[in-house]
């Protein structure tokens, strides 16, 4: 993600612990509004661009959304 390079093999895929460590380290210098323990129920286009994100703890707007799902053993790399 922007502003913090991922360490490790640039041609490989991180395991779950490496990915979790990276995300935790990414939050620290940027003081991101991370909402742990919230279930996302929908992400849809926002009225003024960006996205509206509905969660179990409320509704949020965002200019960008990272959707990280699926297993690490079968990576999906967009074209």
| Domain spans, the chain | 16-62
Tens of pLDDT, residues 20-34:
888 888 888 888 878
Position 58 pLDDT exceeds 70: yes
**7, two tokens:** 């360490």
Within 8 A by CB and 6+ apart from 71, the residues are none
CA distances from 32 to 6, 9, 21, 29, 58 (A): 18, 26, 15, 8, 17
| pLDDT computed for residue 52 by the predictor | 95
């Amino acid at each position: 993600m922007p502003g913090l390079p991922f360490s490790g093999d640039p041609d490989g895929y991180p395991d779950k612990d490496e990915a979790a460590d990276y995300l935790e380290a990414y939050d620290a210098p940027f003081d991101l509004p991370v909402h742990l323990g919230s279930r996302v129920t929908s992400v849809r286009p926002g009225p003024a661009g960006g996205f509206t994100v509905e969660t179990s703890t409320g509704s949020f707007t965002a200019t960008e959304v990272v959707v990280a799902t699926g297993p690490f053993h079968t990576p999906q790399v967009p074209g």
